[in-house]
C-alpha cells in the first residue's frame, strides 16, 4: 500500500510541537488520602517557597 508523502497513521500529527513555556506532565498512582497530601505539597512547591520545600525534603531524607 503506497502512502502519500506527509500522511501518517496514528501518533502525533506532522509538525506537532508543544507550545513554548508549557510544563511537561507527570503521572502517578495514589490513594485518595495520599493524593490530597501530594496536591497540597505540589501547590507549595509551585506557588510557595520552593527552596523551603527542598530543604524540608533534604532534612526528611537524612533523618531516615
pLDDT at 25: 83
Asked if the structure places residue 9 within a domain, the reply is no
Measured distance CA(11)–CA(17) in Å, rounded: 13
Tell me how far apart the alpha carbons of residues 36 and 43 are, in angstroms, rounded to a whole number.
Answer: 11
Which of 45, 46, 48, 47 lies closest to 57, judged by CA? 45
For 33, how many CA atoms within 13 A lie in the half-sphere containing its CB? Answer: 0
- Provide the domain limits for residue 50: 32-63
Q: What is the mean pLDDT of each run of 10 residues along the chain (64 residues)?
A: 66 73 86 96 93 94 88
The domain total for the chain is 1
Is the pTM here over 0.75, yes or no?
no
Please indicate, yes or no, if residue 49 is contained in any of the structural domains.
yes
| 27 belongs to a structural domain | no
Amino acid at each position: 500500500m503506497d502512502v502519500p508523502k506527509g500522511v501518517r497513521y496514528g501518533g502525533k500529527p506532522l509538525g506537532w510541537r508543544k507550545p513554548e513555556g508549557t510544563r511537561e506532565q507527570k503521572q502517578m498512582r495514589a490513594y485518595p488520602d495520599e493524593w490530597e497530601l501530594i496536591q497540597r505539597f505540589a501547590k507549595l512547591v509551585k506557588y510557595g517557597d520552593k527552596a523551603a520545600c527542598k530543604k524540608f525534603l533534604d532534612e526528611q531524607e537524612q533523618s531516615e
